[in-house]
């Protein structure tokens, strides 16, 4: 599903002494099937932006389009519930939203709420548990008896069981150790590819944005500050520093390599091993001349 923001402004508590403009004249487009990272400091408008994707917030001015659904102060989808079945949101610490007696019941809750048949729900549970790395033996256990990582996977499975077209990830690795962060992010990337999802990642991790996203949107004080491919955005070190953002460590390393050896290695999502081999070849080539 294509997503478009057209001159969107959102004001909290409008027409009161406490009015606050969280988003200001924001325009951008997300193509269907793309993986977009949204980056910005606290107060930049990230959370308000994603609330517009499933109708939790309606623009004060401007228009948001999610596929055939349109949201503006003049126009709202007649079936907001249907829109929310198309846009799945994984919030920070999603395991805090678990409440059912068993893992299977928690995963089934969303599809049941959207009127999916019991037979189809069972098929989805079987499919999703495998996709998120949960063993079927856990389905009849209480989610509260599981490890933190397993609980998070149960919560994610509940979102995916609704079969959304758009998957919104709001700091999905918060509170996880480095290994858990990598496992979760790799899992989301595989789901993105296998299911053809439009994936929107809200993150503070420049490394994750560089590794997984094909487009980056940087917000600053409710406005669009920069956007483009990760390679384009993260090559602009000075512009990023003006809004207190750093380039990813791997980009910084390659910049320092270029300064020291006078030759560049463009970053194109190579693995560490591939980069090491490219560096070795560059050094050998320099030594032989």
Domain boundaries of the chain, sorted by first residue:
248-289
| Portion of the chain with pLDDT greater than 90, in percent | 74
The two three-digit tokens of residue 274, written as one number: 């591939």
pLDDT at 255: 83
Nearby residues of 282 by Cβ (< 8 Å), 6 or more positions away: 261, 263, 265
Phi, psi of 102 (to 5 degrees): -130, 165
Label residue 136 by pLDDT band (50, 70, 90).
very high
**CA 53/CA 55 separation, integer angstroms:** 6
Decide which of 268 and 141 is more confident: 141
- Cα(85)–Cα(77) distance, integer angstroms: 13
For the chain, give the percent of residues with pLDDT over 70.
98
- Averaged pLDDT, 12-22: 93
Q: In this structure, are residues 128 and 138 in contact, taking their beta carbons and an 8 Å threshold?
A: no
Residue 35 in 3-state DSSP? strand
199's CB contacts (< 8 A; 6+ apart) are: 34, 35, 36, 166, 167, 169, 188, 192
Radius of gyration of the chain (CA): 21
Structure confidence at residue 235 (pLDDT): 86
Dihedral pair phi/psi, residue 35, rounded to 5°: -120, 110
Stated as kind and residue range, the H or E segment containing 231 is: helix 230-234
- Name 228's bridge partners: 216
- Region of poorest pLDDT, from 158-162, 204-208, 211-215: 204-208
| CA pseudo-torsion sign 167, 173, 179, 182 | positive
| Lowest-confidence segment of 157-161, 195-199, 239-243, 250-254 by average pLDDT | 250-254
Supply the mean pLDDT for the chain: 92
Q: How high is the pLDDT of residue 286? A: 64
């Amino acid at each position: 599903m294509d997503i478009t923001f057209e001159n969107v402004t959102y004001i909290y508590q409008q027409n009161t002494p406490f009015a606050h403009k969280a988003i200001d004249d924001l325009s951008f487009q997300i193509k269907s099937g793309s993986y977009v990272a949204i980056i910005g400091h606290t107060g930049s408008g990230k959370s308000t932006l994603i609330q517009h994707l499933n109708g939790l917030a309606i623009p004060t001015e401007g228009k948001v389009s999610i596929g055939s659904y349109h949201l503006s102060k003049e126009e709202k989808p007649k079936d907001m519930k249907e829109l929310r079945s198309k846009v799945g949101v994984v919030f920070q610490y999603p395991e805090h939203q678990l409440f059912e007696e068993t893992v299977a019941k928690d995963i089934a809750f969303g599809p049941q709420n959207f009127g999916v048949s019991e037979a189809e729900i069972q098929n989805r549970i079987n499919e999703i548990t495998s996709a998120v790395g949960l063993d079927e033996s856990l389905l009849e256990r209480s989610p509260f008896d599981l490890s933190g990582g397993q609980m998070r996977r149960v919560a994610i499975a509940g979102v995916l069981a609704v079969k959304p077209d758009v998957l919104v990830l709001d700091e999905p690795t918060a509170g996880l150790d480095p290994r858990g962060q990598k496992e979760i992010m790799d899992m989301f990337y595989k789901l993105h590819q296998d299911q053809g999802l439009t994936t929107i990642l809200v993150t503070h991790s420049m490394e994750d944005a560089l590794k997984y996203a094909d487009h980056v949107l940087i917000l600053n004080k409710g406005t669009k500050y920069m956007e483009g491919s990760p390679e384009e955005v993260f090559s602009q070190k000075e512009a990023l520093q003006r809004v207190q953002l750093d380039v990813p460590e791997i980009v910084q390393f390659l910049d320092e390599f270029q300064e020291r050896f006078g030759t560049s290695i463009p970053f194109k999502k190579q693995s560490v091993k591939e980069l090491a081999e490219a560096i070795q070849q560059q050094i050998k080539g320099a030594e032989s001349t």
